[in-house]
Chains A and B, each alone.
Chain A
Amino acid sequence: MFAEEWPLLTFTLLSQFGVGAYIFFVIVRAFNKKLGNNLAINVTKRGIMMVGPVIALALVFSLFHLGTPFGAYRSILNLDSSWLSREIIFTSAFFALWIVSFYLDRKGTWNQIVGWVTSVVGLGAVFCMASIYASSIKPAWTDVNTYLAFYGTTILFGAVTSMIFILMSKEEKTEGLTSIIKGIGLVGLGAMIVQLVYLPIYVSGLSVSGQAGLKSAALLTETYAFSTVIRWALSFVGLAIIGWVFYRNNKSQSQMKFYLAALTLVLVGEFLGRYIFYATGVSIIVG
């Protein structure tokens, strides 16, 4: 499975990472006036810069999925009905808009409206991405779960990345900023809880949706049961570490190793989650 699907696995994860992080930075910046001193802009500056290269890398990885990579430009020719075409358009548009907003940010004339528009396009890209899987013939994918998983990853990545960037910034963590960080943490936690609540509904739905669904359900509850537990534990511990460092000593700025550990845990957790997603996609077949 991995040998065949790694380009898509990395493409979906990285693009969701980029989109999620960007959206959270824009949300933080929406509080700029309230926080004063241009604080919200300053603590997210480096973060905004990171988004573009991540999306570019995601797009490059996606090429490795194609048998004929040099024909990639033709993938936008069926916008009428193909979610893959729409995904490429939206992801590219997100990247183009990021360039615009990044340029404005560099010039010191950040435009919040451009930020929001870019965010909405990013959310659209994730929607198209999920719809590709939802319009396949694999019962494990043609389910609300795909949307929850893709948006869940987007939100969790966004929450974790934005918290880390803000906490690592040199600016003073004012009370306003601290409460924003708390809010972000809770949203990240919420994104995980929603998926976990839906998990049993998803599995029970799969087991009554025919042979392919039954097989997927069996993979989830048997072969990948342990991996699923690990996957959630890693993501949860990653988020928890940030919370722990935050509450233990939110004045110190030398917490780099904890943040790196937290980010790594969340990345590995989500990677494992996406791996399971691909591995449990069983096609309807003849027979």
Chain B
Amino acid sequence: MAQKGFYYDSTVCTGCKACQIACKDKNDLKVGELFRKVYEFEGGTFPNVWGYYLSLGCNHCKEPKCAENCPTGAIYKRESDGLVVQDREKCIGCKMCIWSCPYERPQYLEEQGKCGKCDGCADLVDQGLNPVCVDTCPLRAIEFGDIEELRKKYGANYNLKVLPGANITKPSITVKAKPEAMN
């Protein structure tokens, strides 16, 4: 099965959150609901300080626990490109996906009484376009494509200190990180 995924360059990201907002706009999310979220990390002692950002949407994991545990089958993995998508109609808002994702990505949509998540902008991908977060980034810090190819191009790096162990769900991401972000 082909597997699409994200490459993210933490070394050039300025934390402008354009990706987060574009995603929010595309998915018409309400206050407090974020399918893609930019995390900020900082540390050190003056003058040796450091900081970096981490932009995370759904990692379209190889073994998505959210899809495995979803009782209605609303969340499923697309055969064609491995994107973990959701049939919102089917969702009953039981929040099992939220209990299952180590990356805190599925969100409870209060107004709808349902959960939602990043689907990699599957509708745009089907038209041969990029997810909105990718095209919105002014630094070109996010790239979308076949994860194998992205890892060939940029290296396979996903064991960041701040990320839960990749062995839990096998996320389809690779990150160019600052040394301080690595284990």
Contact = CB atoms under 8 A, between A and B. Distances in A.
> Do the two chains bind?
yes
B163 interface: yes
Contact of B113 (A68, A72, A74): A68
Chain A contact residues, majority secondary structure: loop
Range of interface residues on A (Cβ < 8 Å): 20 to 34
Interface string B24-42: 0000000000000001010
A287 B93 contact: no
A84 B68 CA distance: 10
Nearest to A85: B71
Contacts of B67: 81
A98 interface: no
Contact of A132 (B65, B96, B101, B113): B96
B144 interface: no
Contacts of A197: none
B156 interface: no
A138 B93 CA distance: 19
A88 B100 contact: no
A82 B162 contact: no
A195 interface: no
A72 B92 contact: yes
Given A284-B164, A287-B162, A78 B91 contact: no
B100 A137 contact: yes
Nearest to B108: A67
Given A84-B71, A286-B164, A67 B104 contact: no
A77 interface: yes
Interface in B81-129: 90-96, 99-104, 108-109, 112-115
A135 B100 contact: yes
B41 to A, nearest CB: 7
Contacts of A77: 71-73, 90
Interface string B160-172: 0011100010000
Interface residues of B, number: 36
A283 B68 contact: no
A71 interface: yes
Given A68-B114, A84-B71, A283 B92 contact: no
A285 interface: yes
A284 B168 CA distance: 11
Given A66-B92, A67-B93, A67-B112, A78 B99 contact: no
B94 A65 contact: yes
Contact of A74 (B92, B100, B168): B92
A81 B104 contact: no
B54 interface: yes
Contact of B71 (A68, A76, A138, A286): A76
B56 interface: yes
B65 A135 contact: yes
Contact of B93 (A68, A82, A85): A68
Interface of B: 39, 41, 54, 56, 65, 67-74, 90-96, 99-104, 108-109, 112-115, 162-164, 168
16 contacts: A66-B92, A66-B93, A66-B113, A67-B92, A67-B93, A68-B91, A68-B112, A71-B91, A81-B69, A284-B164, A284-B168, A285-B102, A286-B39, A286-B56, A287-B39, A287-B41
